[in-house]
Structure 1
Amino acid sequence: MLKYIGKKVLIAIATVFVLATATFFLMKLIPGDPFLNDKIPVAVQDKQRAFYGLDKPVPQQYLTYMNNLLHGDLGYSIKKTGKTVVDIIKEAFPVSAKLGLISLLFAEAVGLFFGILCAQFRGKWPDYLLMVVAVLGIALPSMVLGPILRMIFGVKLGILPVTGWGKPNQIILPALVLGLGTVAGNTRNMRASMLAITTQDYVKTARAKGLSPIRVVLKHQFKNSLVPIIPNLGVQIAGVLMGSFVVESMFLIPGLGRYFVDSVTNLDYPLIMGLTVFYGAFLVTMNLIVDVLYGLIDPRIRVK
């Protein structure tokens, strides 16, 4: 098991290194200059570039960037004067994490429940109805689903606010929009997993013993159906956070997603690179945790 974990950790470190390197050099390809302004003297613009190290050769910039990254220094934001990228992450990430966690809990609970129902009513109207909902959830992206739900619940019915953050009722719509796609995916995956296990001998034996359908589902089918679902958790956890880029901008939520959109618009290079590396490292870490847990649950996938 230690060999398996060690290999996964090395792959994770290498992935973050490649991501940081690719992010740095791709930023150099983006056209535009964040300091270019007709109202600011050229001498002042040159001082600003020197402060951020943009006046040095690209290889030197890269070595400085990687050295700072190893020490946890992501630099200063160009547009958020006086704020470091780390400060922005500390300020905004809890908001994104709260929204993402609520969305994920909603998506996992509802998606797995719907998947179980679909499997139990296979070929009947509940199965067809829930699968139609699942397909719509996958087909409709956040930028389409969000305005529809805002129009229905915020404008027509007037029961939920369409912007803002802080109050409990302001979390409902963003969490719903962010989680529905994951609900749809979990429904389909759980349905397929449950149906695959239904024909197993131990399930048939449990039914032959006279166990109630609910007990067969919960004790024999549900637990074993989760094994194929677990590898998707890492991507789902990071997905709800990364998907919040659109949702946070749409609902004016002060999370990392909104900062990221603003940084791209403003050509805030340090903030773009810092948030990209942070999100990438977060995704890699979540996948690493899930891989380790999967190895503990199912020893067959461990590398000998």
Structure 2
Amino acid sequence: MTTSSALPPIVIATRESQLALWQAEHVQALLAARGHSVSLLGMTTRGDQILDRTLSKVGGKGLFVKELEVALEEGRADIAVHSLKDVPMELPDGFALACIMEREDPRDAFVSPHHASLDELPQGAVVGTSSLRRQVLLQALRPDLKIEPLRGNVQTRLRKLDEGQYAAIVLAAAGLKRLGLHERIRSVFEPGQMLPAAGQGALGIEIRSQRQDLRDALAPLAHERTWLTVTAERAVSRAMGGSCSMPLAAHGVWSGDTLRLQAAWGDVEGRLPLVRAEGSSRVATLDEADALGLAVAGRLRAAGAVAAC
């Protein structure tokens, strides 16, 4: 192991929710094991502060990363650790994703104190989610359900469920598993039921793009297949205007050297049917992954999906 005195210290900018801190501390431990001196800079983002409105109405995914990017720009922090599904598809000039780590479970989890699965919910039951993607996919599975907004960190959402405000809620399985809350998962939605969001379950590390020293330090933490997969998924979202909040899913699965990419788009108003598209190709580079994503996005649009922004 390289001695810490030979390496510059690294400051991680992180949101202060329990899950965000787990993610930052996970990266901190991995870097520390390689000899780096690593500290955390805890911050509260606008996405954490605005809890009375859905993200789609107050600025979308960028609300969770802007303050962290300011800390990088001002030199108060060196890297920022993000849940990749919260990262806009287009980063501001001067910023880059320098590392994509190995993915946790990308699926959505069904959480309920009294019901074991979506099928067991009574007619007209209230289900909580503020994800437009989950909303349209839930409505496709169970048109009778009443989908209500649900904001806040994981613990806040579970508390609202336990207080009886919802019959069930849908959360990312990865977040629950990382927090040691496996027992709250009653069932998971297989991708054929509820296709995950682009990048769901993966962690991305953002830097100022000119920091080659940080790219080198983070390289051992990267996971090539996850990076290729989420690049394809995010290419679908980017082509569809996915830096805005929109009801879009994209999920890739490997078979040998071939990546199969599925995508789905829905109309929140329910006026248009759910649209699905897919494609597959041999993928070995980020450019090839991007090309696959763009091809699948084109098929979505040809089938009737409407791009945002």
Normalising by structure 2, report the TM-score: 0.25
Greater RCO, CA 8 A, separation 6+: 1
Larger Rg: 1
Higher percent of residues as strand: 2
Task: Give me the TM-score of the superposition, normalised by structure 1.
Answer: 0.25
